[in-house]
């Protein structure tokens, strides 16, 4: 049964903490999953969360630390001593341990690592911290089961038992040579059906997908999605098996990237939460608002350059919001599709084919919207807007088609350009595209009006 956090449960825990009833508090959390406990702690205030954490055993609290929201975990770690943190780190798998240590202040990182009792564990953690966060090396863990190709099946089984003692799950058994180079995988079926004295190299499966430590995390996610993998081995530059990436690591990465892209699309430059401080929220939101403001000033200058049109065709200005809004919406639609394609690897084919497709789609949408606009203009707007005749209706319609065409091309190629320059293309789906298309849309509208109406 899935745990559901309720206000009544939170209030009950808070009352028990106030009364210092440690036994009752501990009983409430005894059978709960660490992820559910973390959800409760995130809902408590800081002192209450620390009270609960100090009651639980190290194995449980280490799992809870991994599940806590980053801000809550940071404050909890600040309240713990170096030895207490090291004790929790000892219980974690290497990938989670490396992530948590990376969040510590520089002066505490070395202190915590020095206090870790299992020196092999500490060495693996230090090794993982060398890799970039968004790389295969940054996602992988060191815990795995591997056998050598020259071992007999019976020896491989004995060694697998030893290696699996401290592992929560064993998804796959890897096969390596004497130098540690990845050769393939060993299936359970082979172990069950093979003579004990058979060599591993005679029964292992050489067909195996893998990534290198330097490969991008997005590429890792795409490979695991494409081939429906639960685990992916990681090799170094000379082919040695150095770790594995499990599906839960990739899911966390995809979620983090989705959150970041969503915020960037909304014009938020930093990773923030709703309960962050005013200072952090202003810092994250203000840059794009300033850019949008500057874009607004450019729009004012464009309008001012056509101010003489007001004298003869004042009703043109009533259509400015329509043109600007359409340009912005079309640009965001096009860029969102391209960014999604870049993210999941589905954007294939030549740039010219993409260009032709966008032109065709834009013209089709533009003509449909232009016809709707002219019909509404003829039967409705001409009765309410002074000076709105067929010539002006045709001018707005042609401008609308042109704006849709230009906006869709900008929305398509700006993300591709940014991606080729190593810039996150998600930035193109927000205020950047909207503001730039507003400016272009207004300029194109009045320039076409100038050509057709002659002012």
Tell me the pLDDT tens digit for each residue of 155-200: 999 999 999 887 878 889 999 999 999 999 998 888 888 888 899 9
pLDDT the model gives residue 428: 60
Residue 112 corresponds to which tokens in the numbers above?
């915590």
Q: Residue 386: which pLDDT band, with cuts at 50, 70 and 90? A: low
Alpha carbon of residue 146 to chain centroid: 31
Check pLDDT > 70 for residue 396.
Answer: yes
Helix (H, G, I), strand (E, B) or coil at 216: strand
Q: How far out from the chain centre does Cα 206 lie?
A: 33
> What H or E segment, with its residue span, contains residue 393?
helix 390-420
Is the pLDDT at 116 greater than 70, yes or no?
yes
pLDDT grade, residue 248 (50/70/90)? confident
| pLDDT over 60 at 274, yes or no | no
Structure tokens at 347: 């954007």
> Which residue has better confidence, 359 or 86?
86
What's the mean pLDDT in 216-228? 89
Q: What is the mean pLDDT of residues 388-404?
A: 85
Mean predicted confidence (pLDDT) in 425-448: 77
Does residue 388 surpass a pLDDT of 80?
no
Q: Residue 46 CB: number of other CB atoms within 10 A?
A: 13
Q: pLDDT tens digit string along 254-266?
A: 777 766 665 555 5
Give me the chain's average pLDDT, please.
Answer: 84
The whole-angstrom separation of Cα 420 and Cα 66 is 35
With H, G, I as helix, E, B as strand and everything else as coil, classify residue 179.
Answer: coil
pLDDT at 383: 66
What is the model's pLDDT at position 354?
Answer: 73
Secondary structure class of 104 (helix, strand, coil): coil
Q: What CA–CA distances, in Å, run from 61 to 14, 50, 99, 298, 380?
A: 19, 11, 16, 55, 68
- Per the model's pLDDT, the better-predicted residue between 340 and 65 turns out to be 65
The count of C-alpha atoms lying within 13 angstroms of the C-alpha of 188, restricted to the half-sphere facing its C-beta, is: 3
pLDDT exceeds cutoff 90 at 379: no
Which domains, from first to last, does the chain contain?
7-134 (1.25.60.10), 145-246 (3.10.580.10), 278-453 (1.10.357.20)
Q: Cα(194)–Cα(176) distance, rounded to whole angstroms?
A: 19
pLDDT number for residue 1: 62
The answer to whether the CB of 171 falls within 8 A of the CB of 193 is: no
Cα–Cα distance between 130 and 414 in angstroms, integer? 33
3-class state of residue 244 by DSSP:
strand
Say whether 347 sits in a helix, a strand or coil: coil
278-330: pLDDT as tens digits: 777 677 677 777 877 887 788 888 877 877 776 677 777 778 888 888 888 88
Closest CA to 148 of 137, 159, 138: 159
From 455, 315, 314, select the one nearest 381 (Cα to Cα).
Answer: 315
Task: Give me the pLDDT at residue 436, please.
Answer: 80
């Amino acid at each position: 049964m899935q745990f559901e956090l309720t206000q009544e449960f939170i209030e009950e825990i808070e009352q028990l903490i106030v009364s210092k009833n440690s036994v009752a508090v501990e009983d409430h959390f005894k059978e709960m999953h660490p992820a559910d406990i973390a959800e409760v702690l995130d809902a408590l205030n800081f002192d209450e969360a620390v009270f609960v954490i100090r009651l639980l055993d190290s194995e449980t609290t280490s799992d809870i630390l991994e599940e806590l929201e980053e801000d809550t975990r940071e404050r909890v770690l600040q309240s713990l001593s170096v030895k207490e943190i090291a004790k929790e780190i000892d219980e974690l798998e290497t990938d989670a341990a490396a992530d948590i240590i990376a969040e510590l202040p520089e002066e505490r990182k070395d202190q915590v690592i020095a206090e870790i009792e299992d020196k092999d564990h500490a060495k693996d953690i230090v090794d993982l911290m060398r890799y970039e966060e968004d790389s295969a090396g940054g996602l992988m863990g060191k815990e795995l089961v591997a056998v050598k190709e020259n071992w007999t099946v019976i020896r491989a089984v004995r060694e697998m038992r030893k290696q699996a003692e401290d592992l929560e799950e064993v998804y796959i058994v890897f096969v390596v040579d004497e130098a540690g180079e990845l050769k393939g995988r060993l299936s359970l079926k082979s172990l069950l059906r093979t003579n004990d004295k058979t060599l591993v190299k005679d029964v292992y499966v050489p067909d195996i997908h893998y990534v290198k430590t330097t490969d991008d995390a997005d590429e890792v996610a795409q490979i695991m999605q494409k081939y429906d993998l639960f685990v992916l081995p990681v090799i170094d530059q000379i082919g040695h098996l150095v770790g594995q990436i499990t599906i839960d690591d990739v899911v966390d990465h995809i979620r983090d990237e989705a959150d970041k892209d969503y915020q960037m699309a909304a014009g938020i430059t930093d990773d923030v939460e709703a309960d962050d401080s005013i200072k952090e929220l202003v810092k994250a939101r203000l840059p794009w608002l300033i850019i949008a403001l500057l874009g607004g000033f450019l729009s004012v200058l464009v309008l001012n350059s056509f101010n003489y049109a007001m004298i003869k065709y004042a009703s043109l200005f009533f259509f400015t919001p329509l043109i600007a809004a359409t340009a912005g919406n079309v640009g965001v639609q096009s860029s969102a599709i391209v960014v999604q394609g870049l993210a999941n690897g589905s954007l294939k084919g030549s740039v010219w084919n993409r260009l032709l497709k966008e032109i065709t789609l834009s013209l089709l949408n533009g003509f449909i919207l232009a016809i709707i606009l002219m019909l509404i203009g003829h039967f409705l707007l001409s009765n309410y807007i002074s000076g709105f005749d067929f010539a002006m209706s045709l001018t707005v319609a042609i401008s609308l088609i042109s704006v849709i065409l230009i906006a869709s091309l900008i929305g398509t190629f700006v993300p591709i350009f940014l991606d080729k320059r190593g810039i996150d293309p998600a930035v193109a789906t927000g205020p950047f595209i909207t503001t730039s298309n507003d400016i272009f849309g207004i300029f194109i509208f009045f320039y076409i009006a100038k050509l057709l109406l002659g002012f």
